[in-house]
Amino acid sequence: MNFRSLFLPLSCLAICASLASAETSKPEPAPTAAILAGKLIDVRTGAVRSHAYIVLAKDRILAISETAPTGVPLTDLSAYTVLPGLIDAHGHILSNPTSQSLATEVRTSAPQATLWGVYNLRLWLDHGFTAVRDACEGPSDYPQFALRDSVNRGLIQGPRISAAGSCVSITGGHGDGAPFSPDVDLPQRANIADTVDDVARVVRRDIKFGADWIKLMATGGVMDPISDFHVQELSEEQMAKAVEVAHRAGKKVMAHAEGAAGIKAAVRAGVDSIEHGTMLDEEGAQLMEDHGTWLVPTLYCFQHDMETGLSKGRDPDSFAKGQEILAAQGPAFKLALAHHLKIAYGVDDNDVDESVSREFGALVAGGMTTLGALQAATINAATLLGKDNQFGSIEPGHYADIIAVTGDPLADITVMYHVDFVMKGGQILKDPAHPDRNPVPHVQ
């Protein structure tokens, strides 16, 4: 026997074992900061922990402890209730909060809309939203992707963004843009899909340029004056093709769906989430339960529209549709709760500052528990986005996305309307001890 040849493999085994041991005994990251929470809500269970220390290692949560780590800066939030950063699962980043006029929309350039986006992202952060899912935008050059990437690179401040591409729509559907007279001949927009092949092309274009999600217009809508929200627009075959192409590429699909027929067609086609679901019926609710389809109900958006009326230049036909659909909202949401549908928090309002936190109250008024509303905006929304191992709860290994409020949201959900402290990725962006830190300007 060649003992040398035997020794070499044994030596390799010994070296590999030593390297493996060194890897498993890798020292834990050192604490860099800590937060003292007066009350800390576990959004998974609703359990409340008093006087807890959240220990941070740079941008991540290292541990939750009963004792303070030594030698690191401590943020004292002992007078506050601490929760994970919030998530808006239905936003439109480029929205102009000052106007609902179609004229304003068509006169706003993509660069100007992008600057509105920079402003809106700051507002989300100011209200404690450290992540947002953009639910499609109009410009064909995808400013929402540029904003997402700029946040990731640290060029601008904003929540973590998961972004849909275009609003995939039929000609004349909810997503076809402003309604011009027939003698105004404009080129077809890149988001229009009238056939199954068209849908595949539009979805592939969105994915090519960086979409995280695909957004389908399954039915007509409310804000435009021409479509009928009762009517299914994209066919079930078109939506199934979109799901096939998107899922093959590892992307998810959301469907704007107001009318009952469109909701059911979208669910049968395999979409991952229904947005609004305002005319949901018993059959549709059962389908969603059976398929495990998420619902993002956006309740307050429609309620807020009734409050603002025509004051921001809204089209009267659009406002009339809003009045009709509001009557269906309550019964549909109760069906969703009765069927235990998976529900995530989404706002879908062009005025982030006025509306983004008010969905909490609308969810609870609609029949959801206060814990359920908090879960919708944290762990549920993170799960919908496929990011629940990164954020959505305060756990070791997650990003240090942390907020604090005065009072107890489990007893009174309206305390969520004002967030006192905001941290994203270990960086303090809003602090009651320094109220002038990073203020958001008010638009004129």
Structure confidence by residue, pLDDT tens digits, 107-166:
889 999 999 999 999 999 999 999 999 999 999 999 999 999 999 999 999 999 999 999
pLDDT at 7: 43
| Location of each CATH 2.30.40.10 domain in the chain | 33-84+394-430
The CATH code belonging to domain 33-84+394-430 is: 2.30.40.10
CA distances from 180 to 100, 108, 172 (A): 17, 16, 10
For the full predicted model, state whether its pTM sits above 0.85: yes
Average pLDDT over residues 64-68: 96
Query: pLDDT averaged over the chain?
Result: 92
Q: Within 13 Å, how many C-alpha atoms sit on residue 152's CB side?
A: 9
CA-CA distance, 402 to 427, in Å (whole number)? 10
* Cβ-based burial of 196 (10 A; exposed 0-12, middle 13-18, buried ≥19): middle
Structure tokens at 310: 């025509």
The strand pairing partners of 257, in sequence order, are 276
- Name the CATH superfamily for 86-384: Metal-dependent hydrolases (3.20.20.140)
Give CA–CA dist 384/368, Å, rounded. 18
For residue 84 the two structure tokens come to: 């994970």
Give the residue range(s) of CATH 3.20.20.140 domains in the chain.
86-384
CA 412/CA 405 separation, integer angstroms: 11
**pLDDT for residue 287:** 98
Structure tokens at 423: 């941290």
Among 51, 2, 60, CA closest to 31: 60
